Amino acid sequence: MDNAANIDIASIIPHREPFLYVDRVVELAQGRIVTEWDVRADAHFFRGHYPGQPLVPGVLICESAFQAGAILCAADERDAIPEGAVPVLTRIADARFRRRVGPGETLRCEATLDERVGPARYMTAKVSSGGQAVLRVQFVVAVTAGGL
């Protein structure tokens, strides 16, 4: 599971534009993933979220972390996700935002698997940009059989 360059995100999670917030997997190891999201200046959410002072909504920064966690769950061959099942967010805890994010930045997310309990995967993500902390959040992803 160490060849991150060959990860086909679209084959792992169901998210698609305009709701895909992971551009690439930089690193993938057992229990850990590093992803990046390039925040485009023409992103749809900038038109209505603080017009004139573009700001990436915090919920979308969280979503990028959750998508990284879902990729980690689905790519971990120990999980062997059944055909048609998908990893779904079931809990968010202790989200702490450190600074704002604007157009043109690249968000780097490191998500780790903290614990596995049945179908639930307890995870922690740290998001940064330019070496500065942006977000730390704990969350749970559950593998749901039969899709959505």
Distance separating alpha carbons of residues 108 and 97, to the nearest angstrom: 14
Q: Is 104 exposed, middle or buried (0-12, 13-18, 19+ CB in 10 A)?
A: exposed
Distance between CA atoms of 35 and 53, rounded to whole angstroms?
A: 26
Q: Name beta bridge partners: 82.
A: none
Torsions phi, psi for 3 (to 5 deg): -100, 75
> Maximum distance among all alpha carbons in the chain?
47
Helix (H/G/I), strand (E/B), else coil: 13: coil
Q: Which residues are catalytic?
A: 49
